Amino acid sequence: MPRVWDVPVHDSTRVRDVRVAAEQAAALAGLDERRTATAALVATELATNLLKHAGGGRVLIDVVAPPVLADGRDGARLVQVTTVDHGPGIADVPAALGDGFTTTRSLGAGLGTCARLSDHFDLHSVSGRGTVVAARIGAVPDGPAGEPGPADRVRAGGVNLPFGGAEYSGDAWAWVRAGDLVTLMLADGLG
């Protein structure tokens, strides 16, 4: 069963807890010191954004298997940092990912930095409903893979949620790529 760090972030003291969880997950994933620091920075920035822009939220950190890669490529495990909030949402996501964009008195480097440092970065936001961000950090950033086919453009992921108060989740997700086909699998540990 996967170990999941579920950290509610409603005050600044929990940002440290998020950073520590990211470092623990990085150790489990076998990341070196530099990539561990990257995972900790991304997790800290995303947790800080929850407080600054959404009034709080939830950070889920776990270690995930890489996507099924094209033939001949191998992948190591990644730290996945997912944040969920029910704040005002982001009206202009492309602008928010650019350097210097801010709605507060900050440098405006947070989201763009997180996106650049992560191997995979996805953000979904709905004005008035909130934002979900998923960032994955692996041992080394992915290199060029050549021209992608239709299945190579598919991005999939999942969030494992432990039962209240538990550290491990019975949930699981996986995907398999075969040529131009992608098969997704989801499992709910509670049935």
Per-residue pLDDT, 109 = 57
Each residue of 110-135: pLDDT tens digit?
A: 888 899 999 999 999 999 999 999 99
List the helix and strand counts (H, then E) for the chain: 4, 7
Spell out the CATH class of 4-140+166-187.
Answer: alpha beta
Per-residue pLDDT, 108 = 46
Per-residue pLDDT, 69 = 57
Per-residue pLDDT, 185 = 83
pTM listed for this prediction = 0.81
- Which parts of the chain sit beneath pLDDT 70? 1, 67-75, 100-109, 141-154, 191
Which own/partner pairs from 181-184 qualify as long-range (CB within 8 Å, at least 24 positions apart)? 181/151, 182/151, 182/154, 182/156, 184/156
Tokens found for residue 141: 């950033």
